[in-house]
């Protein structure tokens, strides 16, 4: 059975759309449809019910899906194991990372990696940390370099690389910056611009603030920390950002009772064989230092 057919089948099943599957695989929609038709002919059963623009798995499709995933995972693990036997670091390395880490943490690591291992084809995807973790668990990515989950995820191994202290910030002209004796309840009196509620970073912030009885009024939420920095700097609201992003456009609000830190680092699937390229990149990652 052609692995390209199985890949197309899994992508259509996951995205529930031929159009989205085609975009993810960089193929045309007719090419995806042709592959699904060819697979259906091989197994002798329809794999999808097509009703208008809606598609869903048939009983045969639901039965085949876990076996298709396992087949592709086993083939990929075999490829990685063989690459390690050769002693030569080469092949394709698929990584998911957040925009913030890609901009502020990864460049020196990737510069060294691409210089030392020019035969590795680096397949780098920018995405939310939560999406990257899911993609690693699904076998779509070999490594994630992300904000680490706040709670353990089954079968996901993690390693802290960069402890990342967070600070409450606002524009220099913001009323909170002018307060002589700032108290935590005052935060709730002013709008905030914070990371999206679905992110690990938001969960860390909300849990710490809730423990002190503070429920922020969120004026705007976004996944992009650089956007939050801009919004806070122009006075749209106070925010919480990594201390490493501080500059003259912002003021850090000192609240001794608050201690917020997130962890940035590596994630990988505990049941998947890591390629020589993945192991080489992991060795280049700095050891986590104390905050």
Using the 8-state DSSP alphabet, how is residue 188 labeled? Answer: G
Kindly list the distances between the CA atom of residue 141 and the CA atoms of 127, 185, 207, 285, in Å, as whole numbers in the listed order.
12, 43, 30, 18
Q: Are strands 251-252 and 91-97 parallel, antiparallel or unpaired?
A: unpaired
What is the mean predicted confidence (pLDDT) over 174-197? 91
Q: Decide if pLDDT at 23 tops 80.
A: yes
Express the helix, strand and coil content of the chain in percent, nearest 5 each: 45, 25, 30
Kindly report which listed range (65-79, 98-112, 163-177) carries the lowest average pLDDT score.
65-79
> Which tokens belong to 153?
């995820």
- Coil, strand or helix at 48: strand
In this structure, are residues 60 and 43 in contact, taking their beta carbons and an 8 Å threshold?
yes
Return the pLDDT at 117. 92
Q: What is the pLDDT of residues 30-54, one digit of tens each?
A: 999 999 999 999 999 999 998 777 8
Dist. CA 240–CA 53, nearest whole Å: 42
> Which tokens belong to 65?
């899906």
> Which tokens belong to 169?
């910030």
164-262 architecture in CATH?
3-Layer(aba) Sandwich (3.40)
Q: Which of 78, 77, 75, 56 is nearest to 65 (CA)?
A: 56
Degrees to nearest 5, angle at CA 19 with 272 and 62: 50
In this structure, are residues 104 and 147 in contact, taking their beta carbons and an 8 Å threshold?
no
Dist. CA 167–CA 183, nearest whole Å: 15
Element containing residue 125 per DSSP (H, E):
strand 120-126
Return the pLDDT at 1. 63
Kindly list the distances between the CA atom of residue 240 and the CA atoms of 63, 93, 123, 134, in Å, as whole numbers in the listed order.
46, 33, 31, 25
Using the 8-state DSSP alphabet, how is residue 243 labeled? Answer: G
CATH number of 82-162+264-284: 3.40.190.10
Q: Decide if pLDDT at 183 tops 70.
A: yes
Count other Cβ atoms within 10 Å, centred on residue 128.
Answer: 20
Q: Decide if pLDDT at 159 tops 90.
A: yes
Q: Which of 125, 89, 33 is nearest to 274 (CA)?
A: 89
Q: Domain-by-domain residue ranges, the chain? A: 3-74, 82-162+264-284, 164-262
Q: Decide if pLDDT at 85 tops 80.
A: no
Mean pLDDT, the chain, whole residue set: 90
In this structure, are residues 88 and 45 in contact, taking their beta carbons and an 8 Å threshold?
no
Q: What is the pLDDT of residues 88-109, one digit of tens each?
A: 788 889 999 999 999 999 999 9
**Higher per-residue pLDDT: 73 or 118:** 118
What is the mean predicted confidence (pLDDT) over 136-142? 90
Return the pLDDT at 86. 63
**pLDDT band with cut points at 50, 70 and 90 for residue 291:** very low
The CATH number of 3-74 is which of 1.10.260.30, 1.20.1050.10, 1.10.10.10, 3.90.1170.50?
1.10.10.10
Q: What is the pLDDT of residues 233-280, one digit of tens each?
A: 999 999 999 999 999 999 999 887 788 999 999 999 998 888 889 999
In this structure, are residues 80 and 44 in contact, taking their beta carbons and an 8 Å threshold?
no
> Which tokens belong to 180?
């002589």
Q: Decide if pLDDT at 79 tops 80.
A: no
**Do 82-162+264-284 and 164-262 fold alike per CATH?**
yes
In this structure, are residues 226 and 99 in contact, taking their beta carbons and an 8 Å threshold?
yes
Return the pLDDT at 271. 85
**pLDDT band with cut points at 50, 70 and 90 for residue 290:** very low
Degrees to nearest 5, angle at CA 134 with 131 and 135: 85
């Amino acid at each position: 059975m052609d692995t390209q057919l199985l890949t197309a089948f899994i992508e259509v099943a996951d995205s529930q759309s031929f159009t989205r599957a085609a975009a993810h695989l960089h193929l045309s929609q007719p090419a995806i449809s042709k592959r699904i038709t060819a697979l259906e002919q091989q197994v002798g059963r329809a794999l999808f019910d097509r009703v208008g623009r809606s598609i869903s798995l048939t009983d045969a499709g639901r039965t085949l899906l876990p076996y298709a995933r396992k087949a592709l995972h086993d083939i990929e693990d075999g490829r990685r194991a063989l690459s390690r036997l050769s002693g030569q670091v080469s092949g394709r390395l698929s990584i998911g990372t957040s925009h913030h880490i890609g901009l502020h943490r990864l460049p020196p690591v990737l510069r060294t990696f691409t210089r030392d291992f020019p035969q590795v084809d680096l397949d780098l995807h920018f995405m939310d940390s939560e999406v990257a973790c899911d993609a690693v668990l699904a076998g779509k990515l070999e490594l994630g370099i992300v904000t680490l989950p706040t709670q353990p995820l089954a079968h996901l191994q993690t390693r802290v690389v960069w402890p990342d202290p967070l600070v409450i910030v606002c524009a220099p002209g913001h009323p909170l910056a002018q307060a002589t004796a700032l108290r935590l309840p005052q935060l709730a009196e002013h709008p905030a611009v914070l990371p999206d509620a679905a992110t690990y970073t938001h969960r860390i912030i909300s849990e710490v603030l809730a423990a002190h009885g503070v429920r922020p009024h969120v004026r705007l939420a976004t996944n992009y920390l650089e956007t939050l920095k801009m919004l806070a700097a122009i006075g749209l609201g106070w925010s919480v950002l990594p201390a490493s992003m501080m500059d003259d456009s912002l003021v850090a609000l000192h609240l001794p009772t608050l201690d917020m830190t997130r962890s940035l680092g590596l994630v990988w699937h505990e049941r998947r064989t890591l390629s020589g390229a993945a192991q080489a990149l992991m060795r280049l990652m700095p050891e986590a230092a104390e905050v």
